[in-house]
Amino acid sequence: MTTSSLAGSLLLEGKVVVVSGVGPGLGRSIAVRCALAGADIVLAARTEARLREVAAEIAEHGRKAVTVTTDITDEESATHLAETALSEFGRVDALVNNAFAMPPMADLADADFEQMRASMETNVLAALRLTNLFTPALIASRGSVVMINSAVLRHSRRPYGAYKMTKAALLSIAQSLSTELGPQGVRVNTVAPGYIWADTLQAYFAHLAKGRGVSAQQVYDETAADIDLRKLPEPDEIADAVVFLASDLARAITGHCLDVNGGEFHH
């Protein structure tokens, strides 16, 4: 879907969307694509300069963006985010839990427990904390929550054990919250991206290519050969799935995990 067609659809017109973990990749795309669909946005991340950049981009599209420098692992900071969102807009229609801390990439027998605890705090417990804080507002708006997960759910490759552990826990939370909050009109869904063709992955492919003495395009083509659509999903393509789940088009969908991986895995 092009930028113009998404803006014309206004799937989120009149809604307020809170996005955690706003960075230069997927977090930015989620925020901007929600704005293009008609929403005003509350942006949360630890880096203030990054928040300002995304807010300025959203303003260019004619939507309002409020920035809140937030450490979602800190209860006081997370509470301030929820209070600010409501004081600025008076309502919240969707919460997108996108914040992420990389778990240790090692076999579980060798993974550092302190690093695992830290990643669980951000990837799982902080997402639950934010959801709990926003639940009264979401009940009032009959809104929704979207958890950003990962295709790691679909495999058990080494050394992704700790990564899968956090994401499997996040999926379990989303499913349980769907059951708990559904009777009050709140939907809770999950988006599970595969590869995300953005700065971090592009730099990694360039690194692999240099080590092998081949082009980055060759590394890309080899990777894409195992994906049905023969291309790696881009941030906007994943963000559009978030827009759909946050919109009224998905009003009968809850407890669902939507894979956005170009057909790399089938579930």
* DSSP codes joined into one string, 105-135: -S-TTT--HHHHHHHHIIIIIHHHHHHHHHH
- Clarify whether 160 is annotated catalytic: no
| Residue 251 token pair | 């009003």
Q: How many angstroms separate the CA atoms of 254 and 189, rounded?
A: 5
How far is Cα 34 from Cα 19, in angstroms, rounded to an integer?
A: 10
Distance separating alpha carbons of residues 29 and 240, to the nearest angstrom: 9
Of 163, 195, 204, 220, which is the active-site residue?
A: 163
Nearest Cα residue to 228 out of 197, 256, 266, 259 = 266
Please count the other Cβ atoms lying within 10 Å of the Cβ belonging to residue 113: 9
What is the distance, to the nearest Å, from the Cα of residue 186 to the centroid of all Cα atoms in its chain? 18
CA distances from 113 to 53, 109, 160, 173, 250 (A): 35, 10, 14, 21, 39
Note the helical H segments in the chain. Answer: 3-9, 26-36, 48-60, 75-89, 113-120, 126-141, 161-181, 199-212, 216-224, 235-246
Q: Which residues have a catalytic role annotated?
A: 163
